[in-house]
Structure 1
Amino acid sequence: MKRVIVIFAPTACGKTALAENIFGKGSLSCFKGMGEVVSADSQTVYRGLNIGTAKPSPEEMELLPHHLIDIVSPSVQFGAGDFFDLADAACREILSRNKFPVVVGGSGFYIRNFLMGLTSAPVCSPQVRQFIKDRLAAEGGRVLYEELCAVDPVYAAKINPNDSSRVCRALEVYHTSGMPLSSYKMPENLRPDYEFLVLVLNRAREDLYRRIDLRVDKMFEDGLEQEVAALVKNGCTKDTPAMKAIGYSEFFLDGMTLPQIKERIKLDSRHYAKKQYTYMKGIPGAVIVDADDMKKIESLIMKFCSR
């Protein structure tokens, strides 16, 4: 059986540092050098989005190899189906070298689809996809999200209004089938071709919010404003797919000063952190564990790997 370790946690919870402490080349754990990370983050796939996504540095990736980092340009729409295919290929390649794939990230939507498989929603024609894409360019993401709220309020309530990739996908399904995406049944069991250990890291809300605020402060200290300016200089606009991300979209809001942008990013990050857990509810066998309980986490991994 092909074993895959999954570590999910909301933003700023410390999941990347945890993976490095267990599997990295400098680790004191017995799992040192035995795993490689498959990043389950919807924004670190984009080239040029480094500071605002807290992307691992080249030095960190030297200590612990990461997959699915810097693989597409900011103008590309990247969705759950793309992640599913690429993560699956990365896991199989890592396993072929007798190492453990460690899927690490905060995109619960991506991780849930990887664990349980994609929905039975229809594949949309290129014509419908282009129709929605043209509308996005002409009318903007807000108009499309408002339409989604009208035709599929259940799904619309689950996603970030700025997530144009998911908004477009849901509208593609609706315009193809006449049925809302939320009406299609989600798989209820884990995929049978893998054996999963799913760890959901938890922190007290006050502690998590404090860590989020500190992370945002550091992003600005590290040059987030300059990074956004460079992306804009290279052609990115508020409608560029990658610019819909928290930490970037706020710079395109009208009439806001830099301190206001910083506070808005903190607020949006806190709201998103609460939503990130939504897609992880009901995952069979998922274990909720304190993010700082390294002894328990290592014990769970040891038990899983020694089966």
Structure 2
Amino acid sequence: MKNPYESYPATIAKIILDAPDTRGFTLQFQDKKRQAGFSFLPGQFIVVGLPGIGEIPVGINSSTSEKKFVQITVRGVGKVSRAIQQKTVGSTLFVRGPYGNGWPMKKIEKRDLLVIAGGLGIIPLKPLIDEACRKDWGHQNQVQVFYGSRNFKNLLFENQYKKWCQFHDTQIILDAAGPRWHGEVGNITDLLDKHSVPKDAIVTACGPPIMYKYLIPKLLKKGYKEEDIYLSLERKMYCAVGTCEHCAIGDKYVCKDGPIFSLAEIKDMPEALE
């Protein structure tokens, strides 16, 4: 039986500064067969670590069709993430996974799709957006992308917006205006009032708990069904396989049963959205 805790060395091939405290890393497994055979579902995550320092769960933001590398985005907020940010091109990180369930792709492919991302929440949603941009995906329905950020300098994946706009109705809103921003200003939930949205759509959302607090009531008021609203949850986790119980909410584990849950699954678990 495969050891779920086994990690594999991966070389940092490229580093970009996504935001003042956020870096994007392009990784390549040192085992070429491992790299060629690596696959994941949009919304899944990996665990990245440094010996003697620790590990952190990280969302995958590369395309599912990409076989030459794996891309992640790391914000320096703790000991491990800051240590990873100090690494340079050519350094080695240790990677295990992927873990989790991912977005409900089979259900999404048959319906209109509304993607809502707040801040770093765009990371696990990017592979889903990329998947919907593929010409061979066969998705003939409407796809709409709403993305909100604190300010212009904290926007992630800016070089992807032009491609997204070619395929989807993409709207970006910032909490605060600035000299480099001429778009919409306000909260991400404001976009639901300002723009026409598909009525019978699957909603995929990821963002901070405060976003969910205002987003969920508005989605329900607009008629979206609880079983059609999918949220990506974040919890402190260590094992990533449901053993350590650090990420437990009710009778579910975010690492194993999630991180994607429908609102119907967690509506009676108030701690899930805290």
Q: TM-score range by the shorter chain?
A: 0.3 to 0.5
State the TM-score, normalizing by the size of structure 2: 0.34
Tell me which of the two structures has the higher relative contact order, counting C-alpha pairs closer than 8 angstroms and 6 or more residues apart.
1
Between Structure 1 and Structure 2, which shows a larger proportion of strand residues? 2
State the TM-score, normalizing by the size of structure 1: 0.31
Between Structure 1 and Structure 2, which shows a larger proportion of helix residues? 1
State the structure with more CA Rg. 1
